[in-house]
Structure 1
Amino acid sequence: MTAELVRGQNHPLSTVRLEIRVSAGTPVVAAATLSDENGHAQGVEWVAHPGSPTLPGLEVSRQAAADHRLAVDLDAMPASVHRVNVLLSLPTGDGGGPVSFGSVPPPAVRVTGLDGTEVAGYTVTGLSAESAVVALELYRRQGAWKVRAVGQGYAGGLAELLTDQGLPQAQQLAAGINEAVAQGLARSVPAPPPPPRAPDGDRSRQAAASALGPDQSGSAYGAQGATGCPAGAPTGSVPTGGPTDPVPAAAVPTDPATPQPAPPPPPATGGPVDYVHPGRRNAAPPPPPPTAPPAQPGQPAPPVAGDATGWSMEERLYNQVWGMFEDLARTTAAYRSAVDFADTRMERELDQVLSDPRSRIGGQGDAAREAAQARHIQLVDQARQALERDLVQLGAESDVVEPALPPAYARWDNPVWHAYRVPMEMPMALRLGDLHLPESDSLRIPMLVRLPLERGLWIDSGGTASAEEPFTDSHELRHLALVSAVAHTARLLAVYPAGEFTVHVIDPAGSGAQALAPLVRAGVLATPPAAGAAGVADVLGRLTQRVDLVQMAVRGGVADALPPGFDTSQQLLVVNDFPHGFDDRAVNQLRYLADEGPAVGVHLMLVADREDAAGYGPLLDPLWRGLLRLTPVPDDHLADPWVGHAWTYEPALVPPGSEVLQQVLAQVAIARTKHT
């Protein structure tokens, strides 16, 4: 069954010998770049294009055309190649052709076997001012190949795209490709004109790129660094979707057996972003998501909670949140790029005025300066209007999604917690807080990380700079850090089935007694918080032994031979005020748990100020890098996996005066008692 991909979605490839078929309503240039594991092409010899169409395992067309077939043999790729990027661009020159993808029907790209069997397809919608686009990416992951729909456009054209691929000779290479294409176009048959454009077309669920600048791409430690949340992708980024998790978007239910028509082209300018996704099919048909009420004529369909791909409402909501996250990242990138373009253009125009002695004085110079400033204001206003249009749509979507979230994804003030019952199975993700950008301060994106946790958490209790909390002293920060850790711990306890999550706490000096009181009073800890050097050694010794036993059992293929009564639940170790109370042996055991524990169900939550451990020097650097850093107050240290914005993180704290935490922990304690 063919997988109809949406932007960011991936799909496994069942064969290594492929054809990539491109269909467009106008002649386009098809090319491909090979990239290493960091996503960079190592030189012009890693680019297949009309002037040099053949590389090992890859062949592209020799001229611009409305239809292309690219041949790919993944087994013939050099071992250093980890990605194959399929590029499309509009020919340049004086032929009177289109200058941007926004003025032509969206190109469709299909991946097929040599027998013509379709594996996956992607229609590159949502482009406007871009004249070059990375359509698809074939990438190697754990010895297997997958395809991902990318749809990354560049208003700066092929040269900008190649620069983003890491090619230092991008300008010269783009000029050479365009020259080869110009010679080929002289021999090609002109394509028929595209059909008339609809007055208003559907947009794919992505942020529209501004007509003034490229939607610049970058990667951060987040989805691609951490695994890929989401944010739950970063070395300071957000755990993520990306390589491991798809970053899907909302979906429209379709019959997989029925061919779907290509979506109509997007409007050239203006108009709201249509929430409905055109022509979408899924690799595996999910249960039908909720349908939106009919829209008013000329208006986009109103958003619906759960309108995304997935087999369950939980999965659809998870994917929808990630779609919103990507949309906000990209629409903000487009806005910032447009503003940068406007600033650069005004500076260039003013420099030209000042460089001409005749225009430095008098009315001519003043008029030129005023004209440059007026053009700058116009461009910035246009970019702001596009941003605000997308923010309105995303805000409307957030308004319907937030109330529909299950407890694992919901804020503590969501009414869903008042009907909380201990679940029968573990959810796929957990909310650790909210993310927002300065351009959209009122719009909060839930920060979801996949479960079970793939890396430990570090709640930074020192050195946190916060515009909202500029006068918070170090003692208050340490207290807030542990309060934040308790809220995260309670949430983890609440989303696991009874008896499947066990919490241990180390509080060497007993300084966290007040913040830890809710957990202690509810009786949800395995044992009382460990204090003193002896308590630290006891807890670390037991958990280290557990990791050793499980590793030996798994590696020996005798996982069912663990000792009788062995606790098979997931384990969480919360450490307060590290490294106080830790000797060298305890520090090494903690590092061991952080590195080896997650793979066998032992997770770490460290509440610490890194400066307190400065005496260990670089010895602990791998520990800090291996943990996802969170803060007890708002802080802009996390990055998205698409364009690398610095997002402000806000922890998921219980509202002051609320009893929800005690009520939830009471339910967990009751279920724990019944289970034992």
Structure 2
Amino acid sequence: MTAELVRGQNHPLSRTRLEIRVSAGTPIVAVAALSDENGRTHGAEWVAHPAAHTQPGLQVSRQAAADHCLAVDLDAIPEAAHRVGVLLALPADGQSPVRFGTVAAPFVAVTGLDGAEIAGYTITGLDTESAVVALELYRRQGAWKVRAVGQGYAGGLAELLTDLGLPQAQELAGVINSAVSEGPPRSVQAPPPRTAEGGRSLRAAAPALGPDQGGTTPHGVPPMPPYGGQTPGGPAQPVPQPSAYPGGAPDPSVPARPAGAGGPIDYSHPRRQGAAPPPRTEPSDAPGQSAQPAPPVAGDATGWSMDERLYNQVWGMFEDLARTTAAYRGAVDFAESRMDKELGQVLSDPRSRLGGHGDAAREAARARHAQLVTQAREAFERDLAQLTAEAEVVEPALPPAYARWDSPVWQAYRVPTEIPMALRLGDLRLPEADRIRIPMLVRLPLERGLWIDSGRTGPSGGSFADAHAPGRLAVETAVAHAARLLAVYPAGELTVHVIDPAGSGAGPLAPLVRTGVLPAPPALGAAGVADVLTRLTQRVDLVQMAVRGGAADSLPQGFDTSRHLLIVNDFPHGFDDRAVNQLRYLADEGPAFGVHLMMVADREESSAYGPLLDPLWRSLLRLTPVPDDYLADPWVGHAWTYEPSLVPAGSQVLQHVLTQVAAARTKTT
């Protein structure tokens, strides 16, 4: 069973060969230092660091990384050493954040070689510190234990090493920083999720579906929270999506899906129970003083990396908001039905219809109703206050893939070296909790195409004074989504193609063209449509044959193995029957073989094709360029309002990000 440590707490270790997993959400340096029974480090040979990554019984990473895996063999530790300290520091390169108070709280886990977690510690309470002793392993009466330390140093690694009594601490800190600056920050590959027996089984729900989108989703897709499709005012449509993680057994309390759609979905979060985030209390020193909930911490969820932990925390926030809102609505409905029943009993009795007795009974029924509603609202507001506090902490800690376009994290944007776990496509909210926005995350790589609806949709059915406004806004939304995808993929790992048959999207598409992130200008006319679709369908055919034939290594030499995104504007303009069939083929087969589809279209404009295109619309994830309440979860049936993730008016962040993407791509070619 995993021990969740707090500062100063210790836990016995039953194994001597261990791994120490570090997850910080930003590149950090990991160091392991030996010390004697007095806590003194005798020399540089007692320290494993990026420039000397192995020492007796120790092995650390060679570079700064968001995630680390340190190896420790306690049997190989010299007899003179009684402690092993795990030291973390932010790189002193002038670009990375220089204070732990500006990044998400690091998480350190001690595990066995099989990945079974023994103890975990989230390092909270740091502010101006740029180096910290995360935890230490120490001998006590012939046995080894682990202690959560969390001691920070504002003077950085040099001050920390000096405090350990290390001779020439300043020189060693300089050696470490020089070694780190020679290589780019990167992350280690996280191990696969463990089964329920291993204690780290994560259960995923289904992605959002728009109206008429009840088609089967490919198996094995681990998307974000339980979003389902619903036509405004219509019933929620259960999503045919299996549990995507190992060990995700169905929950019998969740209603089963329609016949042919598979078993029920388990939407329970592995660490969150109840209607709101569970209050975490600290022991009170004063007798009789009630414990207060501890402040929320970004990344306070299960996961091997900060990316995964933040993803799961957002998922948990979604679940908490859905559950507490359902409880509030249920309580209000109960109060109203109880009042109706009591008033009905008063009216059914001829003796109480008139006179003071009947008036008193009616007033008592209304008073009980008001009391129940007030109690429900007070509980709901307490839950919302906790969720609001958590959202205020989590939002600033989100990485670019999860962050809003107005987040400061984009100002320090650098092209990543790895694909993130998920991507933010917008926000979700409920009418009773309008102040809380839950990021809508979808897993990467995309397993479904995206449909940006350019029809006249809006909060109330919607209408625009300018007939061209919906289409223009939809293209701008598509460009924002495409830019975010380009920004979170490593350089050269995503290639974008654009089909704009009539050239109607030239204005909104200008940032993609101007910065040079497109390998070719947008395709125009029927000939351009045919050329792009033919090349991409041939690519899918080739990769499909190689993969299904077990000969993926036999692809032609120099074959571009990057993923491709096709943006189609103004569909079905410029599309003949052959092009329509090719588009449907890319929507169905493309995602599994590296080609993804993003359509900007008004469904009514393609009505001439009749039901032929119904499977196409059902296979795509519908998004709107304006807030609309067309999304529903099949879990409790809420109608969620979706808000697209758009670049603030007048902001240059899109230009800044795309320019860096184009420059990084030029360096790799």
Which category of TM-score, normalised to the shorter sequence, fits these structures? 0.5 to 0.7
Change (3 A) 1:314 1:478: same
- TM-score w.r.t. the length of structure 2 is 0.61
Q: Give the match for residue 596 of structure 1.
A: 589
1:243 matched to 2:243: yes
User: Which of residues 330, 337, 354 is equivalent to 1:361?
Assistant: 354
Contact 2:206–2:226, Cα closer than 8 Å, also in 1: no
Q: Distance in 2 between matches of 1:476 and 1:348?
A: 51
One-letter code aligned to 1:563: P
Task: Give yes or no for contact 1:437–1:648 (8 Å, CA) kept in 2.
Answer: yes
Alignment check: 8 A CA contact 1:578 1:608 kept: yes
Write the mapping of 1:273-422 to structure 2, written as runs, cut at 5 A: 274-276=278-280, 297-422=290-415
- Aligned residues of 1:249 and 1:309 also touching (Cα < 8 A): no
SS at match of 1:648: strand
Cα distance per residue 1:297-330 (max 9 Å; x no partner): 4211110000110111111100000000000000
Is the contact made by 2:492 and 2:562 (CA closer than 8 Å) also made in structure 1?
yes
Give aligned-pair identity as a percent: 71
Unaligned runs of 5+ in 2: 5-115, 117-193, 200-204, 231-236, 249-266
Determine whether 1:558 maps to 2:572.
no
* Aligned residue in 2 for 1:652: 645
Which among 432, 444, 466 is matched to residue 425 of structure 2? Answer: 432
Question: Alpha-carbon deviation of 1:463?
Answer: 3.3
How much has 1:637 moved relative to structure 2? 1.1
Over the aligned positions, Cα root-mean-square deviation in angstroms equals 3.6
> Partner of 1:409: helix, strand, or coil?
coil
Contact 1:228/1:242, CA 8 A, preserved across alignment: no
Write the letter of the residue equivalent to 1:243.
S
Q: Does 1:445 align with 2:438?
A: yes
Q: Does 1:454 align with 2:458?
A: no
1:235-282, CA deviations, whole angstroms, 9 ceiling, x for partnerless residues? 458999972257675869xxxxxxxxxx9xx9xxx9x964339xxxxx
Say if 1:335 and 1:384, in contact at 8 Å, map to a contact too.
yes
Q: Show the counterpart of 1:52.
A: none
Output one character per residue of 1:589-644: Cα deviation in whole Å (capped at 9) or x when no partner.
00000000010011000100000011111111111011000000000111234212
How many Å separate the matches in 2 of 1:362 and 1:337?
34
How far apart in 2 are the matches of 1:388 and 1:458? 36
Contact 1:238 / 1:638 at 8 angstroms: preserved in 2? Answer: no
Deviations 1:469-511 (CA, angstroms, capped at 9, x unpaired)? 6545442111110000000000000000001000000000000
Alignment of 1:152-301 (within 5 A): 226=217, 227=221, 229-231=223-225, 233-235=227-229, 243-244=243-244, 274-276=278-280, 297-301=290-294
Is the Cα–Cα contact under 8 Å of residues 232 and 448 in structure 1 kept in the other structure? no
Report the CA distance between 1:398 and its aligned residue.
0.3
Kindly state the Cα deviation for residue 367 of structure 1 after the two structures are TM-superposed. 1.1
Cα distance in structure 1, aligned partners of 2:638 and 2:496: 34
In structure 2, what is the equivalent of residue 38 of structure 1?
none
Gap change, CA 1:479 and 1:586, over 3 Å in 2: same
Distance 1:235 1:431 in 2: 18
Q: What amino acid sits opposite 1:366 in the alignment?
A: D
Deviation larger for 437-446 or 240-249: 240-249
Secondary structure at the residue paired with 1:433?
strand
1:294 CA drift (Å): 11
Matched residues in 1 for 2:382 and 2:348: separation? 39
- Greater than 6 Å deviation, 4+ residue runs: 1-4, 144-149, 217-220, 222-225, 237-242, 291-296
1:545 CA drift (Å): 0.1
Q: 1:584 to 1:294 in 2, by over 3 A?
A: farther
Determine the C-alpha separation between the residues in 2 that align with 1:596 and 1:332. 38
SS at match of 1:407: coil
The one-letter amino acid of 2:446's match is L
Alignment size in residue pairs: 443
State the SS of the aligned residue for 2:326.
Answer: helix
CA distance, structure 1, for counterparts of residue 610 and residue 661 of structure 2: 41
Q: How far did residue 565 of structure 1 move? A: 2.1
Deviation for aligned residue 1:229 = 3.5
Report the alpha carbon displacement of residue 232 of structure 1 after superposing the two structures with TM: 7.5
Q: Report if aligned partners of 2:426, 2:645 keep a CA contact under 8 Å in 1.
A: yes
Q: Relative to 1, partners in 2 of residues 1:592 and 1:517: Cα closer, same or farther, differing over 3 Å?
A: same
Task: Give the alignment of 1:609-628 within 5 angstroms.
Answer: 609-628=602-621
What is the letter of the counterpart of residue 542 of structure 1?
A: R
Contact 2:430 2:640 in 1 (8 A): yes
Q: Give the aligned partner of residue 161 of structure 1.
A: none
Match of 2:468, SS?
helix
Check whether the contact 1:232–1:449 (CA below 8 A) recurs between aligned residues.
no
Q: Do the aligned residues in 1 keep the contact of 2:208 with 2:621 (CA within 8 Å)?
A: no
Change (3 A) 1:219 1:249: closer
- Which residue is 1:22 aligned to? none
Whichever residue aligns with residue 621 of structure 1, its letter is: D
- TM-score normalised per structure 1: 0.61
Q: Per the alignment, do residues 410 and 343 of structure 1 end up closer, same or farther by CA in structure 2, a change over 3 Å counting?
A: same
Secondary structure of 2:631's counterpart equals: strand
Q: In structure 2, what residue type is equivalent to 1:455?
A: R
3-state SS of paired residue (1:448)? strand
- Among 562, 567, 572, the residue aligned to 2:565: 572
Moved more, 344-353 or 472-481: 472-481
Matched, 1:504 2:508: no
Inter-partner Cα distance in structure 2 for 1:292 and 1:504: 58
Residue segments in structure 1 that go unaligned for 5+ positions in a row? 5-117, 119-143, 150-216, 253-262, 278-290
Deviation at 1:542, TM superposition (A): 0.2
Q: 1:541 is aligned with what amino acid?
A: T
Determine the C-alpha separation between the residues in 2 that align with 1:431 and 1:273: 22
For residues 148-201 of structure 1, the C-alpha deviation after alignment (integer angstroms, 9 at most, x for no partner) is 99xxxxxxxxxxxxxxxxxxxxxxxxxxxxxxxxxxxxxxxxxxxxxxxxxxxx
Change (3 A) 1:232 1:564: farther
CA gap 1:518/1:239 in 2 versus in 1, 3 angstroms: farther
Rounded Cα–Cα distance in structure 2 between residues aligned with 1:628 and 1:541: 24
Distance 2:588 2:3 in 1: 37
Q: Is the 8 A contact 2:500 2:568 kept in 1?
A: yes
Q: 1:402: how far off?
A: 0.2
2:513 aligned to 503, 515, 520, which one? 520
* Cα separation, 2, equivalents of 1:276 and 1:569: 45
Could you report, residue by residue, the CA deviation over 1:111-147 in whole angstroms, capped at 9, with x for unpaired residues? xxxxxxx9xxxxxxxxxxxxxxxxxxxxxxxxx9979
d(CA) in 1 for partners of 2:373 and 2:355?
A: 28
Q: Describe the shift of the 1:494–1:612 C-alpha distance in structure 2 as closer, same or farther (beyond 3 A).
A: same
Contact 2:625 2:644 (8 Å CA) reproduced? yes
Q: Determine the C-alpha separation between the residues in 1 that align with 2:357 and 2:402.
A: 60
Distance 2:407 2:475 in 1: 22
Instruction: Provide Cα deviations, 1:335-389, integer angstroms capped at 9, x if missing partner.
Output: 0111111111111111111111111111111111111111111111111111100
673 and 312 in structure 1: CA distance in 2 versus 1, 3 angstrom threshold: same
Q: Deviations for 1:405-437, whole angstroms, at most 9, x for unmatched residues?
A: 000000000000000000001000000000000
Give the counterpart letter for 1:401 in structure 2: V
- 2:524 & 2:285 partners in 1: Cα distance? 61
Counterpart in 1 of 2:488? 495
